[in-house]
Amino acid sequence: MQPTPPTFPTDPSGLPEAARPALLELADGDVVDLRIGAVAKTLGDATVRMLGYNGSIPGPTLKVQQGSEVVVHVVNEGDLEATVHWHGLLPGPGAVLVSPAHPGGLHPGDGPVRQHPGRPRRA
Residue 13: DSSP 8-state: T
CB 84 within 8 A of CB 57: no
d(CA 24, CA 62): 5
Q: Is the pLDDT confidence value at 117 over 80?
A: no
Q: Looking at domain 23-115, what is its CATH homologous superfamily?
A: Cupredoxins -  blue copper proteins (2.60.40.420)
Is 78 strand, coil or helix?
A: coil
d(CA 113, CA 38): 25
Domain limits, the chain: 23-115
CB 16 within 8 A of CB 44: no
pLDDT tens, 1-12? 556 556 778 899
99/36: higher pLDDT: 36
